[in-house]
Structures are given as C-alpha cells and as structure tokens.
Amino acid sequence: MGRFAVNAARDAGMTPARLARIPCLNDEVLGDVYARVPTGSVLRSWEQVTLTDRGSGVGAFAAERSPLGTFGVWDQLFAASANLVDAFRVAADYTVTIGDAAVDRFDVVENGALVTVGYRTGTAEQDIVNAVEQFGMGLFVTRARAASGKDVKPVKVTFRHRAPAVFEPLAEVFGTRNIEFEAERNTITFFREDATAPLPGYRPGLIEVLRAHADSTLLQARSVVSWLDAFREMLGSSIGTPDLSLAVMADRMATTPRTLQRRLAESGTTWRAEVGLARARQASALLRSSSLPVHAVASRTGYSDPRALRRAVQRWQGVTPAQLRGESR
C-alpha cells in the first residue's frame, strides 16, 4: 500500500523534494518488497492525494485506477477464490498484506439475500480518513467486477463521512446512486446471487498455494521504523501523564526542545498536532474497548472536559463518542 500511495501522491502532483521529506519513502525502502512502510508515512502520501480534490471521491477514484494485480498476492487471493463471498473473506483475512492490521478492519456479513462488506481505518485528519475509507470500499467493488468479469453493482453503499460537495463521481465509481452518508459504518452490500456466483479464476488447490505464499511473505516482512514512529510510540505512552510537555518529551528523546520541534517540522508536523493525534487515538481506543464514562476517558487522555473530547473525536473520527462506542458493540 505504501508504494501505491506514493505513486498516487506523485500523480497528484507531489514533488520529489516534498516526497523526500516524508520518512521511510526513499528508493531503498520502496524497492524492497519485504519492507513495511510505516502507516504514518502512508498517510502523509494520502494527504497529498486529498489536496487535489476535497469535494468528491478522490479515494474511490484511486481504487478505480488500480487494476487487479496492483496489490500482488492480495489481488491473486481475491481472483482465485470460488466466489465473491470467499474472496471478500480471504481479502479480510489478509488485510495485513496491503494495510496496517492494527488500524484497518474489514468484515463480511451474510444476511439472507444480501452480503455486506464493512471497512474502517484508524485515526487521522478527517479528509485523509475519508479518502482512505473510500479507497477501501472502492477496492471491493473494482475487484468484484474484475474477478467476476461482470459489471457487478452493489445494492447499497454507506459512508461514515458527510456527503461530498459533488455526488455524481462517487455514484459513477460504485455504479449506484443508493449511497448513504453520515451512516454508522462504511459498508458495501451486494445481492447474494452475485456474491455466490462462481468466479472464472477459481482452480481447486490454488487458493491454498496462494495462502502459503502470502504467509511466507508476511514472515519475511520487516517494519521500517522511522524517527517519527519512535517519537509517536513514546508520546502515546505519555498521554495522560501530568508532566507531559515539549520539554519533558525532548528529554525522553535525548534531545532539546528546539531540536525536537525542528525534527517534527522536517517530518511535516508539529508538537501540537502530534499531541492532538495521540490523545485522539488513545481516547478512541478507550471508547471502543472500555465502558468508562466519557468524562473519565477525557480525564485519562488529557482533555480539559468531556466537551473537548467530543469535539476532538468528531474532528478525527467524524462521529460522536457514543457513535464510536456503538460501532464496537
């Protein structure tokens, strides 16, 4: 996914100089098939993509421009499945081959005559989250068409984000005007008849071979840890502590406050933005995984009061704390 996001950013106009400022996106890393590009660097690339068009479906367009085969073994697993239901499930099982298993979540639900695929990603600026989630949903409809050789159209599509300024482009990509916005979840629903039809690429035994290949590739994969990743990990462990400050973090990173600010600027971010992101991530995790009241979550994550927490969750996740908590039930 890192390599794809970089190419998409280049197509969107990212200059070599700007690309060079993003950690872990040098030619050595991008040329290593076993290198796992940090999620933060991938999101910085997506940020450039969103700058080209904040008003329609830039993420879905990116999926449409990535033909079957772009994502290697993940695409191969999809196309080699017996039917689309199996393809959706194996794609969800191997999300880690194209994304970050810690934040990217796919699920498949069969309900009578319908089959629904759901997807959500992690925490980032809302425009970036919107684009990435549009992309994830777009992948399933483009792969369904490519693997089946048919113009498969979903029954319904839902997005958590608000309706874009221009609706038609998304309707064109997904092949339906039945698209709901500000929904509880991102979902794409197909008729069961379409989802259980045999796929032409299915060969008995092939899916097992591809699974073994994917497992082997994952065993050899290695994460590329950037300075920014190391900083974010340390900052995340410090959220909610009473002494959190730029000076304290600089001391923990064995540097000076001025140098820390400079390194953050070189990485395209700021101390304030990083603290906000770390607090939002931790608060989101607590809301999803615990029954703590909102005021307790706010206190644990350094927000002044529940209203400040609600505003932050709305900004980063596009939903209220109650809606976020409901998604995990």
pLDDT at 54 over 60: no
- Looking only at the bridges linking them, the beta strands covering 186-191 and 179-180 are unpaired
Measured CA to CA, the distance from residue 267 to residue 176 in angstroms comes to 40
Measured CA to CA, the distance from residue 110 to residue 108 in angstroms comes to 7
Helices (H), the chain: 2-11, 16-20, 27-30, 39-51, 58-64, 72-79, 84-93, 126-148, 168-174, 192-195, 206-220, 227-238, 246-252, 257-266, 271-289, 294-300, 306-317, 321-327
Please state which of the ranges 1-15, 63-77, 97-111 shows the lowest mean pLDDT: 1-15
Q: pLDDT for 173-232, tens place per residue?
A: 999 999 999 999 999 999 999 999 999 999 999 999 999 999 998 888 877 777 888 788
Query: Which residues neighbour 146 within 8 Å (Cβ) at sequence distance 6 or greater?
Result: 67, 68, 79
Q: pLDDT for 261-278, tens place per residue?
A: 998 998 889 999 999 888
Query: Which residues neighbour 111 within 8 Å (Cβ) at sequence distance 6 or greater?
Result: none
User: How high is the pLDDT of residue 53?
Assistant: 65
pLDDT band at residue 329 using 50, 70 and 90 as cut-offs: low
Query: Which two three-digit tokens encode residue 84?
Result: 């689309």
User: How high is the pLDDT of residue 257?
Assistant: 92
Q: pLDDT for 219-277, tens place per residue?
A: 888 777 778 887 887 888 888 788 889 998 888 777 889 999 998 998 889 999 999 88
Q: pLDDT for 20-40, tens place per residue?
A: 767 777 787 778 888 888 777
Query: Which two three-digit tokens encode residue 277?
Result: 């992101």
pLDDT at 306 over 80: yes
pLDDT band at residue 162 using 50, 70 and 90 as cut-offs: confident
User: How high is the pLDDT of residue 155?
Assistant: 96
Specify the DSSP element, H or E, that contains 122.
Answer: none
Instruction: Provide mean pLDDT across the span 142-155.
Output: 96
Instruction: Provide mean pLDDT across the span 141-145.
Output: 96
Query: Which residues neighbour 21 within 8 Å (Cβ) at sequence distance 6 or greater?
Result: 266, 267, 268
